[in-house]
Amino acid sequence: MKEFGTIGDLINAYKAIPCDAYIYCSKSVIETENLENGKYLVIESEEEDGYVETEDGEVPKQAYNLGMSSLVDVETFKDILSFQYKLNPKTLYKDCIKAIEYYLSNDDFLDE
């Protein structure tokens, strides 16, 4: 389990995060639909210690105890950022956030 204080920290570390993990975020991120408004937690599948049923579905106990909600699986997160960097190798932080938000809203990659 690894905590990230900001979305920027998570973006900067995306290549090193194992694919068999899931990203959880502060409920404030979900409530405000603002990725810059919270903290993040990555939990690998073998680290999960049971689940708690919530209104948003099942969440590992570790994430639930920290008041976190499901965001996206790491493999998809990596795909979003890899696609963005492939489109523009000089992609800025704000462009990464825009690409992630677009994917979460549209289940598709931003290709502008």
Residue 47 is predicted with a pLDDT of 87
pLDDT in tens, 87-108: 999 999 999 999 999 999 999 9
Q: Tell me what the pLDDT averaged over the chain comes to.
A: 93
Q: Rg (Cα) of the chain, in Å, rounded? A: 14
Residue 12 tokens, joined: 């900067």
Is residue 112 in a domain? no
Instruction: Give residue-wise pLDDT tens across range 58-78.
Output: 899 999 999 999 999 999 999
Domain presence at residue 33: yes
Rounded CA separation 74/22 (Å): 5
Distance of alpha carbon 39 from the chain centroid: 10
Counted domains in the chain: 1
Does residue 32 surpass a pLDDT of 90? no
State the Cα–Cα distance between residues 3 and 67, nearest whole angstrom: 13
pLDDT at 112 over 80: no
Looking at the domain assignment, is residue 36 inside a domain? yes
- Structural domain that includes position 102: 2-106
